[in-house]
Amino acid sequence: MADLLLGQVLSFAADPFAEGPAAARHIAEGAVLVEGGRIAAVGEAAALKAAHPQATRHDHGRALISAGFVDAHVHYPQTAIIASWGKRLIDWLNGYTFPEEMRFADPAYAAEVAGRYLDLTLAHGTTTVCSYATIHPASVDAIFEAAQARGQRLYAGKTCMDRNAPEGLRDTVQSAYDDSKALLRKWHGVDRLSYVITPRFSPTSTPEQLAALGQLWKEHPDCLMQTHLSEQTDEIAWVKELFPQSRDYLDTYEAQGLLREGALYGHAIHLTEREKARLIEAGASLIHCPTSNTFIGSGLFDMGLARQLRVGLATDTGGGSSFSMLHTMAAAYEIGQLRGQALHPSQLWWLATQGSARALHADHQIGNIAAGMEADLVVVDLASTPAIEQATRRAGDIWQQIFPTIMMGDDRAIREVWVGGRKRGS
């Protein structure tokens, strides 16, 4: 049986960083036909209702039907420590992250947090995430099993660290390779699941471990690889001490086979000109984590790079301060303002959907509304609170309708979520 969602429909025919707001497609009285887990058609409501009279109708009035949000960089094991007070990156890792990640040696605890994390993010309209796990293989199993049970598309990998971490959170060069390879063989390509090769970052991996993971990536080039790059200035100075032979932070990865298309670098705030040129040449992806960058005091990402590179958007749970991609869009707007880069609502919405999907090399599957795409959808109430409603009432176009929800919206704005063609909760 087919389902027909009725409302305002927003999709993208091009990249708004290249084409401006005209890259978006808005249908004021639109419809999305869902059948067999995919989008079968999108168009004017009147035409699709006439063509598919037997479809089950879901009339959302003036609410917005969009692709589900895609969160391109998260640490699901940090769910419980989100919004912990202050500190810089290294202090955050030692004071909060590492003690919490030690608990994921317990498979039952990992399973409980994985389920809670996915339910929290689904409630905020996020249908796909790309997550770090911990060094424990059971933590990878937990998040994949939880996503599989919910029918979600998910990217994740075992976090590898063989130095500068507590004993209970260190693996070795060989175990990082072996565990990652076994998990990759177990999960990659199963249902809607993808394995991501995951060195945490250069300070917690020796060159030998990075090289082993580079070899694994060479053996499995269809996987993604995720890590962190140039998040804070004191981190960069630490990397320089640990890798005196390297030209810069990016070179610590490049020298070990961890730079090419399919590489996802979280943060990438303080880049040198050489690093920018090599990232562009290699076709890598950068993942902007604005609430984390402000919460931990990291710096201001240069969104001008979105005109030359794949750039995704992310909450960076739990260094980031919210599970909401709406809140994350608002933070990206504010950071852009501080850099003199005023982001249009079309660009913000694209980053949270098609842009993040493109960064994950999944824009042919998710992140947009088009025939043949997987039916991950979110229905957004553009008048979810009195404050938002009174602002929306004055709107002269769709972007003025959407922008108050970007800046002030939360999970109350999420009216309905569809994952793989099934309405959540049904």
Give the Cα separation of 229 and 239 in Å (integer).
10
Answer for the pair 122, 150: CB distance below 8 angstroms, yes or no. Answer: yes
HEC string for the chain: CCEEEEEEEEEECCCHHHHHHHHEEEEEEEEEEEECCEEEEEEEHHHHHHHCCCCEEEEEEEEEEEECEEEEEEEHHHHHHCCCCCCCHHHHHHHHHHHHHHHHHCHHHHHHHHHHHHHHHHHCCEEEEEEECCCCHHHHHHHHHHHHHHCCEEEEECEECCCCCCHHHCCCHHHHHHHHHHHHHHHCCCCCEEEEEEECCHHHCCHHHHHHHHHHHHHCCCCEEEEEECCCHHHHHHHHHHCCCCCCHHHHHHCCCCCCCCEEEEECCCCCHHHHHHHHHHCCEEEECHHHHHHCCCCCCCHHHHHCCEEEECCCCCCCCCCCHHHHHHHHHHHHHHCCCCCCHHHHHHHHHHHHHHHCCCCCCCCCCCCCCECCEEEECCCCCHHHHHHHCCCCCHHHHHHHHHHHCCHHHEEEEEECCEECCC
Q: Would you say residue 56 has pLDDT above 80?
A: yes
Q: What is the pLDDT of residue 96?
A: 84
pTM listed for this prediction: 0.97
Q: What is the pLDDT of residue 320?
A: 85
Q: Would you say residue 426 has pLDDT above 70?
A: no
Mean pLDDT, residues 211-237 taken together: 97
Q: Would you say residue 95 has pLDDT above 90?
A: no
User: Which CATH number does 69-359 carry?
Assistant: 3.20.20.140
Give the Cα separation of 268 and 107 in Å (integer).
33
Q: What is the mean pLDDT of the chain?
A: 96
Q: What is the pLDDT of residue 90?
A: 75
Angle between helices 207-219 and 173-187 (to 10 degrees): 30
Q: Give the residue extent of every domain in the chain.
A: 3-67+367-423, 69-359
How confident is the model over 14-46, as pLDDT tens digits?
999 999 999 999 999 999 999 999 999 999 999
Percentage of the chain modeled with pLDDT above 70: 100
Mean pLDDT, residues 150-154 taken together: 98
Q: Which CATH superfamily is domain 3-67+367-423 in?
A: Urease, subunit C, domain 1 (2.30.40.10)
Q: Would you say residue 400 has pLDDT above 70?
A: yes
